[in-house]
Amino acid sequence: MGGAFQFSLSDFSFAFLSILLEGLPFLLLGTMIAGVIDQFLPVRLMARLLPRNAYAGMLVSGLLGILFPICECGVVPIIRRLMAKGLPPANAITYMLAAPIVNPIVAASTFAAFRGQSPLEITFLRLGLGYGVAVAVGIVVHNLPLRRVLRAEVIADIAQPQGLSGGAVAGGTVGRLWGALAVCVGDFLSMTVYFVLGAAAAALFNTSVNQDFIVPLATNDWLATGSLMTLAALLSLCSTTDAFIAATFSMFPAVAKLAFLVFGPLVSLKLVFLYSSVFRKSFVLGLAAGLFVAICLLCIRLRVIGL
């Protein structure tokens, strides 16, 4: 006991199954919504509803989570369908990154978890930073060629705006329901492959790595922030409840806990695998590295306001 790494198949299996059992219903919900979007949402409707100006559109996309709250597992299949329905990729990515943070459920859980630890400030900063970072990434993506961002098959879906299913299946509403089922099942299986890989990686860290080793890092702002962000990525917690875990890192400074809360829902082991089902691997790695640096710098900078 006390080593840095100890593996037990039973413990790994237990943590792995618990992550799957917790996340799978939300992944299924996301793919069901994706199926409905694919078959019932008119092509280009989302694009028409958003402001014509691309940047204003991204600002609005970052707030869609308030109306359509969904956690990070469910949002990936949804944005894939929304892009196939004509939502610009930059807007879709802005929604994807913002929705798991900028939504009422996360606001309420963060406020509740941080009672006694400046809850209003932490909640406001979490949502504000999450929104700002999501919009910033959207702006960057807006200026990148699609082939550097999306996988080839996703670009093909966008080029063929009816979507992956080939559009509405003949036979009216019943036919569309069959089509929605096909899209839902197809998306569910392809996303679950990545989810299984992410859950396995998170479970391995969760049960095999001695977490006492990160505690000494709490004394330095840079190390504390970097280590909690890394921990957030490894633990792959759900954004609706991660605040309850973050609040318990009592020896860590508030800026580090804030970084944990902003970075975790955007980049985690689980999500890196899920993102890879839609985005190019190089983009996913660049996104992860860029967000790590940006959020770390932003959060440490917040020391100036006494956080």
Name the token pair of 238. Answer: 């759900």
Facing residues of 150 across strands?
Answer: 279
Q: For the CA atoms of 249, 250, 251, 254, what is the dihedral angle to 10 degrees?
A: 80
- The nearer residue to other proteins, 1 or 304, going by C-beta atoms, is 1
Strands annotated E in the chain: none
State yes or no: residue 245 binds other proteins (CB under 8 A): yes
Q: Answer whether 247's CB lies under 8 Å from 117's CB.
A: yes
- The nearer residue to other proteins, 131 or 242, going by C-beta atoms, is 242
Which segment (40-48, 137-145, 240-248, 259-267) binds other proteins by CB under 8 A? 240-248
State yes or no: residue 112 binds other proteins (CB under 8 A): yes
| Among positions 54, 140, 241, 294, the unique one binding other proteins when judged by CB under 8 A | 241
Q: How many CB atoms lie within 10 A of CB 259?
A: 30
Q: Answer whether 21's CB lies under 8 Å from 166's CB.
A: no
Positions 28 through 57 that interact with other proteins (CB under 8 A):
28, 32
State yes or no: residue 10 binds other proteins (CB under 8 A): yes
Amino acid at 304: V
Positions 158 through 197 that interact with other proteins (CB under 8 A):
164-166, 169-171, 175, 178-179, 181-182, 184-186, 188-190, 192-193, 196
Look-up: residue for tokens 């839609």? 278
CA nearest 237: which of 113, 120, 138, 132? Answer: 113
Least distance from other proteins to the Cβ atom of residue 142, Å: 29
Residues 248-287, one symbol each (x = binds other proteins by CB under 8 A, - = not), give: xxx-------------------------------------
CA distance 248 to 201: 23
Name the token pair of 270. Answer: 């689980």
| Among positions 52, 67, 115, 152, the unique one binding other proteins when judged by CB under 8 A | 115
State yes or no: residue 19 binds other proteins (CB under 8 A): yes
Which segment (60-68, 85-93, 107-115, 257-265) binds other proteins by CB under 8 A? 107-115
